[in-house]
Structure 1
Amino acid sequence: MCAGAGRSAVRVAAGIRWYVTSLMGDNAYATYLAHQRRTHPDAPPLSERQFWRQRMDDQDRNPGARCC
């Protein structure tokens, strides 16, 4: 019984971690790399620095529904 509850707690914690990192954009570069490999395998991906700079520039040009 305790082992099942422990596994459930770990699964819930992993789900919460995934949600928060997705919400905050922490996994955006990894998602971008996976997309690039899948859809543009011959094109070199942006470096992480280039990716974040482009992402911030895009948000500055098109703020959408941001609070700030």
Structure 2
Amino acid sequence: MARWARGVRWYVRELTGESAYDRYVEHLRQHDPDAPVPTRAEFERRRTDAREADPRSGFRCC
């Protein structure tokens, strides 16, 4: 049962994009350990801004 619950949790985190921040922090620490790590809110704001700026993303209809 616990294995099933972990699998569901992993799937939901991947589906919602919640794990993107964790992967970003891990990547940042591996490649530039001295760089400041943005807060989750800052990361999400930058991510949203990047999607809105890209007309190919289909993020906005207009």
TM-score by length of 1: 0.70
Distance 1:64 1:12, change over 3 A: same
Aligned pair count reads: 60
Which sections of structure 1, spanning at least 5 residues, go unmatched?
1-8
Q: Structure 1's 12 and 32: CA in aligned 2 closer, same or farther, altered over 3 A? A: same
Between Structure 1 and Structure 2, whose CA radius of gyration is higher? 1
Which stretches of structure 1, 4 residues or more, deviate above 3 A after TM superposition?
Answer: 65-68
Matches within 5 A, 1:3-18: 9-18=1-10
> Is 1:59 aligned with 2:51?
yes
So what's the TM-score if we normalise by structure 2? 0.75
Following superposition, the deviation at residue 27 of structure 1 comes to 2.0
In the alignment, residue 38 of structure 1 is paired with which amino acid?
A: Q
